[in-house]
Amino acid sequence: MNSLNTKHALQQADAAHHIHPFTNTRELNARGVRVITSAKGVYLQDADNNQILDGMSGLWCVNVGHGRMEIVDAVTKQLEKLAYYNTFFNTTHPSVVELSRLLSEVTPANFNHFHFTGSGSESNDTIFRLARYYWELMDKPEKKIVLARRGGYHGSTVTAASLGGFPSMHKQGGMVVPDVFHAPAPSWWAEGGDLTPEAFGLRVAHQTLELIDAIGAHRVAAMIGEPIMGAGGVIIPPATYWPTLAKGLKERDILFISDEVICGFGRTGHWFGHEMMGTSPDFMTMAKGISSGYIPLGAVAISDRVANVLLEKGDEFAHGFTYSGHPAACAAAIANLNIMRSERLVEYVRDDIGPYLQAKWKALAAHPMVGEAVMEGLIGAFQFTPDKNARSFFPEEAKIGLTARDFSFDNGLVMRAVGDRMVIAPPLVLTRQEADELISKAEKVIDLTYAHARSHGLMG
Ligand SMILES: *Cc1c(COP(=O)(O)O)cnc(C)c1O
C-alpha cells in the first residue's frame, strides 16, 4: 500500500475509491482533484502550498473562520467527558440542554423549542413531517401539500431534494415525492423583463398565491423558502416579494418555513435572514452556520404556535436520528455561538464589513460583462452576460461560469459558479484588508473571463 503523503498519491487514491458529491467523478478523475490540506482564518492552503481566500466559507458554513481553537477545545473537552449518549429514551445531557437554551436566546421571541438533526436535509425532512403532523393534530388532515420554489435548495435527501427546485436533482431517483408543488422564484434579473424589481416582486408573490388558490388553500400545509436563495445563485428578492407573500399565507392559514441554513447565524447581518424580509416563520431550518461546520449539526426551530399544539395534543413523535443532539456537535455549536456573541459578528456584518464589501462588490457591475452585482450582509453574486442592456445569457455550452471558477481558484480566491452567476459568502470575520484582496481578485477573474469570452467570439 502506497502512503498518502504526496499530492499525486492522494489524487490517485481519491480517484480509485471516492465518489464525490455533486460531481461527475469520471471527469474529475481525468483532470485531477484539488487537495486542501489546512486552513486558518479566511485562508485555505492546498497541497502545493498555495494560499487561497475562502470566499465561500467552505460550503457557506465556516462563519467564524477556520482554525478557531475555542471550538476545537470545547469539542475535545466534550469528547473526553461524554463522547456520545442519545436523547431518545427519557434522557438528556448538559450540552444539548445548554444549546437549546442558547438558541432560544438568539432566535426571535416566539421560538423556544428545538429539535436536533445531523444536517439541513434531515432538518427539512423533519419539518415536512412536523408541519403535516401539526395539521393532523388540528383536525385538518387534508392540509398535506408543501409549497416550495423553483431554484430553491433544501438538501439532498429524498424529501429535501423534492422540496428543492432543481430539475437535475428531480430527474435522478424518482422525485418529486407526492404533495410537493413548486412556485416561481423572484429572479428579477433573469425573468423580470421590463418590470421594475418592485413590480416584479409583487407579480411573483401574487402568482404564488394564485397557485395556492388553484390547488386549494385548505389542502396546503406549509410553504418553504430561503430568505435569499443560496445555491440557486444568491437571488435577493425584491423588497415587495416576501411581505406580500407572508400576508397572503397568513390569510390562508398556511404555515411558513424559513430555511435559514445559509441565511441564519449572521450571514445577512441579522441573526436570521427572515428578520430583514418581513416574514414571521412557524419553523426555521438550521444547519451550516449553527456550528460553523466544525462538526455536522442541524436543528429545527419550532415556534410556540406549533410547539404548544405538539405538547398539548401530540403523541410520541415517532421520529429522530441516532445523532440528534450529539454531545460534541452541540459543544461545537455552543462555542461557535459564544464566539459570534462575544465578537459581535452579527453587528460587525451589519454595520461594518458588510457595507464595506457591498459597496466595492456592487461596483463590479460597471464592467461590460457584468449584468448585476448584488450583496446583502456577506452573501452576494454577480451575473456574467454577453449584453448587459438586453440582460441576455451566454450559451450553456460556453461554460463561462465554470471557466471563471477555475480562473478564480487559480488566482487564489474561491468563488462558486451557479450557471454564469458567480456567488460569494466569505467568513463573517473577514477584515477590510481581506475584503480588498477579495475584490481585486474578483476584478482579475472578471478581466480574464472577459478576455476569454472575447477571444472565443462570445461577447454580443
Ligand atoms: C445546504 C443547505 C441545505 C442542506 O443542508 P445539508 O447539511 O447539506 O443537508 C438545506 N437548505 C439550504 C438553504 C442549504 O443551503
CA 287 to centroid of ligand 1, rounded, Å: 7
Mean pLDDT is lowest, of 59-63, 175-179, 293-297, for: 175-179
Spatial distance between the Cα atoms of 159 and 254, rounded to a whole number of angstroms: 19
Atom of ligand 1 nearest to the CA of 155: 4
Atom of ligand 1 nearest to the CA of 298: 7
Q: What is the pLDDT of residue 42?
A: 98
Examine residue 187 and state whether it is found in any structural domain, yes or no.
Answer: yes
pLDDT band at 88 (very low <50, low <70, confident <90, very high): very high
* 218-240 residue pLDDT tens: 999 999 999 999 999 999 999 99
Nearest to 137 by CA among 9, 310, 16, 255: 310
CA 369 to centroid of ligand 1, rounded, Å: 31
* 339-371 residue pLDDT tens: 999 999 999 999 999 999 999 999 999 999 999
Examine residue 15 and state whether it is found in any structural domain, yes or no.
Answer: no
**Cβ < 6 A, ligand 1 pocket:** 60, 119-121, 153-155, 226, 230-231, 259, 261-262, 285, 287-288, 298
CA 296 to centroid of ligand 1, rounded, Å: 11
CA 289 to centroid of ligand 1, rounded, Å: 11
Determine how β-strand 370-376 pairs with β-strand 298-303: unpaired
- The domain that contains 403 carries what CATH number? 3.90.1150.10
Q: Do 130 and 49 share a structural domain?
A: no
Q: From 303, 325, 342, give the residue that closes a domain.
A: 342
Q: From 280, 314, 342, give the residue that closes a domain.
A: 342
Atom of ligand 1 nearest to the CA of 119: 7
* 285-301 residue pLDDT tens: 999 999 999 999 999 99
Record the cell numbers describing residue 358, joined without a space.
Answer: 457591498
Sheet holding 43-46, edge to edge: 36-40, 43-46, 51-53
Q: Do 287 and 350 share a structural domain?
A: no
CA 273 to centroid of ligand 1, rounded, Å: 15
Q: Do 58 and 73 share a structural domain?
A: no
Task: Give how many domains the chain has, as a whole number.
Answer: 2
Q: Do 371 and 230 share a structural domain?
A: no
Of 117, 159, 261, 416, the residue with max ligand 1 atoms within 8 A of its CB, to mutate for a pocket test, comes to: 261
Spatial distance between the Cα atoms of 102 and 311, rounded to a whole number of angstroms: 21
Which runs of consecutive H residues, i.e. helices, occur in 108-223? 120-137, 158-163, 167-170, 188-191, 197-215
Q: Do 373 and 337 share a structural domain?
A: no
Q: From 342, 367, 395, give the residue that closes a domain.
A: 342
Atom of ligand 1 nearest to the CA of 226: 13
Q: Is the pLDDT of residue 173 over 80?
A: yes
Residues spanned by the domain of 335:
69-342
Q: Do 181 and 56 share a structural domain?
A: no
CA 375 to centroid of ligand 1, rounded, Å: 20
CA 395 to centroid of ligand 1, rounded, Å: 29
Spatial distance between the Cα atoms of 426 and 439, rounded to a whole number of angstroms: 12
Examine residue 372 and state whether it is found in any structural domain, yes or no.
Answer: yes
Determine how β-strand 36-40 pairs with β-strand 283-286: unpaired
Examine residue 257 and state whether it is found in any structural domain, yes or no.
Answer: yes
Residue type, 20: H
Q: Do 265 and 218 share a structural domain?
A: yes
Examine residue 393 and state whether it is found in any structural domain, yes or no.
Answer: yes
CA 152 to centroid of ligand 1, rounded, Å: 10
Q: What is the pLDDT of residue 340?
A: 98
pLDDT band at 394 (very low <50, low <70, confident <90, very high): very high
- What's the pTM? 0.98
Q: Do 153 and 112 share a structural domain?
A: yes
Q: Do 227 and 337 share a structural domain?
A: yes
Percent of the chain with pLDDT over 70: 100
Residue with the smallest CA separation from ligand 1 atom 6 is 120
Examine residue 210 and state whether it is found in any structural domain, yes or no.
Answer: yes
- Residue 106, preceding peptide bond in cis (omega within 30° of 0): no
Examine residue 6 and state whether it is found in any structural domain, yes or no.
Answer: no
Atom of ligand 1 nearest to the CA of 157: 9
Q: What is the pLDDT of residue 278?
A: 87
Q: Do 415 and 356 share a structural domain?
A: yes
Examine residue 28 and state whether it is found in any structural domain, yes or no.
Answer: no
Give the DSSP letter of residue 235. B
- The domain that contains 81 carries what CATH number? 3.40.640.10
Q: Do 336 and 388 share a structural domain?
A: no
Q: Do 81 and 217 share a structural domain?
A: yes
Atom of ligand 1 nearest to the CA of 229: 13
Mean pLDDT (the chain) is 97
Atom of ligand 1 nearest to the CA of 152: 13
Spatial distance between the Cα atoms of 45 and 35, rounded to a whole number of angstroms: 9
Spatial distance between the Cα atoms of 447 and 135, rounded to a whole number of angstroms: 54
Residue with the smallest CA separation from ligand 1 atom 11 is 154
Q: Is the pLDDT of residue 1 over 90?
A: no
